[in-house]
Amino acid sequence: MQDEYRTLARAGVHETEVNRSRFLCSLAPAATEREAQDFVAAVRARHADATHNCWAYVIGADAAIQKASDDGEPGGTAGVPMLQMLLRRDMRYVVAVVTRYYGGVKLGAGGLIRAYGGAVGAALDALGTVTRRRFRLATVTVDHQRAGKVENELRAAGRDVRGVRYGESVTLELGLPEADVDAVRAWLADLTAGTARFTLGGEAYGDA
């Protein structure tokens, strides 16, 4: 798994103009390829009168799914530079649609590549990105007597306490950088005289 990736801070639309052609870049997060395809279809329906609705998306923290379309522009001048811009910015789980309204001036292949890639770059700058980092899920099970102190110490140390469950004992759910797992395990053993149970779970991504 990737240690980190970037994704959109928020969905939105950003417009640029090149030689009287309008380029509207619509960006949205997409957790799955189906979500990306649905977004493309929605933008195409909204701008059915446009000259072109070119698109690109990257799905997966490791960019396992990468697809793009020129939608009638000369091959390799629209979708590919859009996709390359997303990858150059380390963007994941994101879909981009650039809608072009032709302004009467031909841009040539080089001009189209710069316009479509640039529209995506400008939209990313305008809407903002966030970094997601990989972390390890873990649970700490401790008796009620020590639970309050353990939780307070974890939060004071800046640890990501993701949830607390109360039952016969208290279970705290944590998100930890992989590199910190052994240190936290040892620290908990010292703090609770070895009475806390520390259990590792799977991996996930969260805000950096």
Q: What is the pLDDT of residue 2?
A: 66
Assign residue 183 the CATH number of its domain: 3.30.70.240
Domain limit, last residue, from 80, 95, 127: 127
Q: What is the pLDDT of residues 154-168, one digit of tens each?
A: 999 888 898 999 999
> Mean pLDDT throughout 182-200?
92
Question: Contact at 8 Å (CB) between 79 and 54?
Answer: yes
| Residue 32 shares a structural domain with residue 99 | yes
Helix (H) or strand (E) holding 18: strand 12-18
Q: What is the pLDDT of residue 1?
A: 58
Q: Percent of the chain having pLDDT more than 90?
A: 77
- The CA distance from 121 to 138, in Å, is 37
| Residue 109 shares a structural domain with residue 162 | no
Domain that holds residue 62: 4-127
Phi, psi of 194 (to 5 degrees): 80, 10
Task: Please tell me the pTM assigned to this model.
Answer: 0.72
The overall average pLDDT reported for the chain is 92
Backbone torsion region of residue 198, taken as left when φ is above 0, otherwise alpha when ψ lies between -120 and 50, otherwise beta: beta
Q: What is the pLDDT of residues 105-117, one digit of tens each?
A: 888 999 999 999 9
Q: What would the two tokens of residue 142 be?
A: 């401790």
- The CA distance from 178 to 158, in Å, is 15
Count of domains in the chain? 2
The answer, yes or no, to whether residue 3 has pLDDT greater than 80, is: no
> Mean pLDDT throughout 121-142?
92
| Residue 61 shares a structural domain with residue 92 | yes
